[in-house]
Homo-oligomer: A and B are copies of this chain.
């Protein structure tokens, strides 16, 4: 079984870094690159492209709100067209930095609060996906299943890549348990291993209420900003391989 392993990369700014991007890049098969709005700067973006290229890792935009101080996690009340232009700006910026190194983007992904906004706002989801389609209709659209973004992307002919979380607790409805609640993040390596093995086995995850639910996903996601994210990603990677799976870039599965 082939599956992707995806993480958020380049989440830094000047001298600051959130995660061990080098360590993560050793094991992931696709990278969502921060584009200077919620995190990232041109130098960091260029370095992420370089690392990804050297290891044949898919690269994609991680589009967020222009809100560096809050890491893109606050809802900024923008008009739909403002979201569109901010997404275009970030996507174009990364396309150019990638192009100069002979690389193309493989995917598009929303970050944090902008992602929630688009997931539940059909107008924003539609307008952004239409704009992205003009830029590059071959981009894979990453996200959670059953959102306005997935619906708009599918309607417009994009291929989508749904993500399954290796380290987050699920509700029965397939959405994540809020980080504000206890038990939202799986901290125990055994829990992560069990999650990965179960998903590899039958495509399900077990929810906080002990129900097995089907998750329609083709890539694991590891959040880079949890402490020890590189080790966690390596654990997910090795569990997949040990279980007979293969970690591959989503673009290779088309």
Contacts and interface: CB of A to CB of B under 8 A. Distances in A.
Copies assembled: 4
B42 A82 contact: yes
Interface string A58-69: 000000001011
Contacts of A97: 85, 88-89, 92
A74 interface: yes
A100 B14 contact: no
Interface string A17-49: 110000000000000000010000111011000
Given A92-B95, A93-B92, A93-B93, A15 B100 contact: no
A91 interface: yes
Interface of A: 12-18, 36, 41-43, 45-46, 66, 68-71, 74-77, 81-82, 84-86, 88-97, 99-100, 102, 131, 134-135, 225
Contacts of A70: 14-15
Contacts of A13: 13, 16, 68-69
A42 B89 contact: yes
Contact of A16 (B16, B86, B99): B16
A84 B50 CA distance: 14
15 contacts: A14-B68, A14-B69, A15-B18, A16-B16, A16-B17, A42-B88, A43-B82, A84-B100, A89-B96, A89-B97, A92-B94, A92-B95, A92-B97, A96-B135, A99-B135
